[in-house]
C-alpha cells in the first residue's frame, strides 16, 4: 500500500518582477513527495531549486497553482498561520547555518521551542537531548564562533529536529563543508530519515549527496525535467 503524499505541488508558478524585467522562476511545477521519502533537488545554478524549496515550505508566496502539505493548502493560510504551521510541522537546515552568534549551542537549539511556547525547563532538556543525539553534548555551552563548520551544522540539525517535524527542508546543507565532514552530516540525515521516518527535501549541487537520497528531481529553467 502506497504511503500518502506529504507534499504536493500543483502547477506552481513564481514570477519575480523588477521594473520592466519579468523572470519566470518556476514555470508550472508539478511534484509529489511521499511521507518518509528523502529526495534531492538538483540542477544548474539559477534553475529554481531554492525558489522551489522556499515555495514548497511556505517561506515564499506563489503566483499561481497550489502547494499542499499533509493535504492542507498553504495558499489558504494567512502569513501568521503559515508561520505557526512551519514552526509545528517543519524544520530547516541552511548552508550558512543561520545560528545566532550571541547564543550558545543549547540556546540556539531551544529557541524554536521557546517561540512555540514550550516551557523553559522542558525546552532546555529537549535541546540538550538533541545535542547529545548529534554528538555535541560536550559543546552545549559553546557559541558558534567556538565551533567548527561541521559542529555548527550539527547544531543546525539539532535545532531543525527539535520539534520532531514531519518535514525537514535542507538548502545545500553540506555546501560549506569539506568532503569528509559533508559525508558525516549526510550519514546523520540518512540515519534520522530511516530511524524516524521524517521526510527530507534537499537542494544540492553535489551528486554524491543526491545519490544517497531515494530520488533525484532534476530542474532546468524553472521546470522539472
Is residue 144 within 8 Å of 99, Cβ to Cβ? yes
Q: What's the CATH class of domain 5-217? A: alpha beta
Q: Where are the domains positioned within the chain?
A: 5-217
Q: Which three cell numbers stand for residue 170?
A: 535542507
Burial of residue 13 (number of CB atoms within 10 Å: 0-12, 13-18, 19+): middle
| Residue with cell string 554524491 | 208
Sheet (strand 90-94) strand order = 90-94, 167-171, 199-203, 38-42, 215-220, 223-224
Task: List pLDDT tens digits, range 80-115.
Answer: 888 888 888 899 998 888 899 999 999 999 998 888
* Mean pLDDT of the residues in the chain: 91
Nearest residue to 81 (alpha-carbon basis) of 66, 69, 65: 69
pLDDT at 2 > cutoff 80: no
Amino acid at each position: 500500500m502506497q504511503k500518502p503524499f506529504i507534499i504536493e505541488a500543483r502547477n506552481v508558478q513564481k514570477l519575480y518582477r523588477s521594473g520592466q524585467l519579468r523572470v519566470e522562476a518556476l514555470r508550472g511545477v508539478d511534484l509529489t513527495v511521499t511521507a518518509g521519502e528523502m529526495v534531492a533537488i538538483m540542477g544548474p545554478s539559477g534553475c529554481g531549486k531554492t525558489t522551489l524549496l522556499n515555495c514548497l515550505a511556505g517561506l515564499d508566496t506563489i503566483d499561481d497553482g497550489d502547494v499542499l502539505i499533509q493535504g492542507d493548502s498553504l495558499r489558504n493560510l494567512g502569513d501568521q498561520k503559515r508561520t505557526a504551521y512551519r514552526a509545528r510541522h517543519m524544520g530547516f537546515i541552511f548552508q550558512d547555518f543561520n545560528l545566532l552568534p550571541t547564543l550558545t549551542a543549547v540556546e540556539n537549539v531551544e529557541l524554536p521551542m521557546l517561540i512555540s511556547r514550550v516551557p523553559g525547563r522542558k525546552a532546555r532538556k529537549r535541546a540538550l537531548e538533541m545535542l547529545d543525539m548529534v554528538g555535541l553534548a560536550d559543546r552545549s555551552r559553546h557559541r558558534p564562533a567556538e565551533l567548527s563548520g561541521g559542529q555548527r551544522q550539527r547544531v543546525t540539525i539539532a535545532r531543525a529536529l527539535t520539534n520532531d517535524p514531519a518535514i525537514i527542508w535542507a538548502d545545500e546543507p553540506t555546501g560549506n563543508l569539506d568532503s569528509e565532514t559533508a559525508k558525516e552530516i549526510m550519514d546523520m540525515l540518512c540515519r534520522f530519515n530511516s530511524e524516524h521516518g521524517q521526510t527530507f527535501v534537499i537542494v544540492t549541487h553535489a551528486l554524491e549527496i543526491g545519490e544517497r537520497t531515494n530520488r533525484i528531481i532534476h530542474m532546468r529553467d524553472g521546470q522539472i525535467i
